[in-house]
């Protein structure tokens, strides 16, 4: 496909607010997954999450406007604001907005239902209802920026933000819009955390492994949930020529489905995952030998990580490039999956792979080269994979150069 430039990035992440702070987090090998203090986890198996700290939304949003937004919208609007500032120059109002979110504004829905039950429909706050829909953050971004192009919200579990990136790139290539803000947003609340804990999805202390998650490690026993927002400004090659910086190029995408997956778990269709990875590489008009590294979807769950490393081994064979599992820094679902894409773009920008936090030793049949420490190297093209429970697969190739 024709390549699409990433010219600005805004981040509100666990342990980091702003792109420079996120760079430092990754470079320092520091995890944003910490013990939960926001709500009581007594009686649960898991007690850690990737929660946003030291975030002051009034630094990015006017107080009167902020009053109309829930936390999910504040996270997304703040990240969008930072992305626009990072890009530097003005962006046409004909641009679009597309965000991904796995769960949406669950906390606002809970608060609205409490008010509804306590006071009845006539007295329940209408503003809470307006903010209880998943597309509220994207709508606020469009209002703040004045963007009049498409406004789309994607919910595809763990792959939400990657699906949003695919949509934005396709529309820019088609000429529907010249530019788009793309990304994701997620919020952790007590309800989601408790449900994931009770179904055994979250990483926990079990006498063998400690919290938090350990992507690809043989002792892994679950994921760490994360939150935050990452918004990226994507632009056509023509517009990108006027920018001082281009972080990288969205070069190709593949989308598929693992038909062996259940509705709430990962399957065993590694051949289908490998085919989707190859589709992204083919879309970028590259070969397997052109891929210098992989930023993996691995999140510390037994099935997801096994599915992915078997797919990579099937696809690359003996030519496997190094693999980074970035979710040890910020958790699964964080920014709807967009932080994984940002981490890969920063690796391209810095010409250095990040360490995979939590990884020490893989399964007996795992032959992929997972990074244990930062690894400076020449990076031209990076494969980014995203696998969602239920069988969704979205993969992208990002490149340092425009063809």
> Which tokens hold the place of 314?
């099937």
pTM score: 0.96
Query: SS3 for 124-144, per residue?
Result: CCHHHHHCCCCCHHHHHHHHH
DSSP line for 93-126 = TT-EEEEE-SS-SHHHHHHHHHHHHHH-TTTS-H
Gap between the Cα atoms of 67 and 62, Å rounded: 9
Please report the pLDDT score of residue 207 as a whole number.
64
Whole-angstrom CA distances from 273 to 185, 278, 332, 377 are: 25, 9, 19, 27
Out of 3.40.47.10, 3.30.930.10, 3.30.450.40, 1.10.20.10, the CATH code matching 249-399 is 3.40.47.10
Please list, residue by residue across 19-44, b when 16 or more beta carbons sit within 10 angstroms of its beta carbon and e when fewer do: beebbebbeeeebbbbebeeeebeeb
Please report the pLDDT score of residue 171 as a whole number.
98
Tens of pLDDT along the chain (403 residues)?
A: 799 999 999 999 999 999 999 999 999 999 999 999 999 999 999 999 999 999 999 999 999 999 999 999 999 999 999 999 999 978 999 999 999 999 999 988 888 788 878 888 887 788 888 888 999 999 999 999 999 999 999 999 999 999 999 999 999 999 999 999 999 999 999 999 999 999 999 999 876 666 789 999 999 999 999 999 999 999 999 999 888 899 999 999 999 999 999 999 999 999 999 999 999 999 999 999 999 999 999 999 999 999 999 999 999 999 999 999 999 999 999 887 899 999 999 999 999 999 999 999 999 999 999 999 999 999 999 999 999 999 999 999 999 998 7
Cis previous bond, 212, omega within 30: yes
CATH 1.20.1260.10 for domain 4-240, yes or no, is no
Please report the pLDDT score of residue 1 as a whole number.
76
Please report the pLDDT score of residue 208 as a whole number.
62
Please report the pLDDT score of residue 335 as a whole number.
86
Please report the pLDDT score of residue 50 as a whole number.
96
Q: CATH 3.40.47.10 residue ranges in the chain? A: 4-240, 249-399
């Amino acid at each position: 496909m024709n390549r699409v430039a990433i010219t600005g990035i805004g981040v509100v992440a666990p342990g980091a607010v702003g792109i420079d702070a996120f760079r430092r987090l990754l470079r320092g090998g520091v995890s944003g997954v910490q013990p939960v203090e926001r709500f009581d986890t007594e009686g649960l198996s898991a007690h850690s999450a990737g929660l946003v700290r030291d975030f002051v939304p009034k630094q990015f949003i006017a107080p009167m406007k902020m009053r109309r937004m829930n936390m999910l919208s504040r996270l997304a609007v703040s990240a969008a604001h930072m992305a626009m500032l990072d890009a530097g120059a003005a962006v046409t109002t004909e641009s679009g907005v597309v965000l991904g979110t796995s769960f949406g504004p669950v906390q606002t829905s809970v608060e609205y239902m409490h008010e509804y039950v306590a006071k009845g429909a006539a007295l329940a706050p209408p503003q809470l209802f307006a903010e209880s829909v998943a597309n509220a953050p994207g709508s606020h971004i469009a209002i703040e920026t004045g963007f009049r192009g498409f406004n789309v919200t994607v919910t595809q579990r763990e792959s939400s933000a990657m699906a949003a990136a695919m949509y934005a790139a396709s529309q820019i290539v088609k000429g529907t819009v010249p530019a788009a803000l793309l990304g994701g947003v997620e919020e952790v609340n007590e309800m989601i955390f408790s449900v994931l804990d009770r179904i055994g999805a979250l990483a926990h202390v079990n006498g063998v492994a400690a919290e938090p998650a350990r992507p690809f490690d043989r002792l892994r026993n679950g994921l760490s949930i994360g939150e935050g927002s990452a918004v990226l400004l994507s632009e056509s090659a023509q517009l990108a020529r006027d920018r001082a910086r281009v972080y990288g190029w969205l070069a190709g995408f593949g989308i598929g489905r693992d038909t062996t997956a259940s509705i709430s778990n990962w399957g065993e269709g590694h051949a289908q995952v490998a085919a989707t990875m190859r589709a992204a590489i083919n879309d970028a008009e590259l070969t397997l030998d052109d891929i210098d590294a992989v930023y993996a979807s691995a999140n510390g769950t037994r099935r997801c990580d096994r599915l992915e490393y078997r797919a990579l081994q099937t696809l690359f064979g003996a030519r496997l490039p190094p693999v980074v599992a970035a979710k040890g820094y910020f958790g699964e679902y964080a920014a709807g999956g967009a932080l994984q894409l940002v981490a890969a773009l920063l690796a391209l920008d810095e010409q250095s792979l990040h360490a995979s936090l939590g990884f020490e030793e893989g399964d007996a049949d795992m032959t992929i080269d997972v990074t244990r420490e930062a690894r400076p190297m020449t990076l031209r093209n990076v494969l980014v994979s995203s696998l969602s429970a239920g069988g969704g697969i979205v993969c992208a190739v990002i490149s340092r150069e425009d063809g």
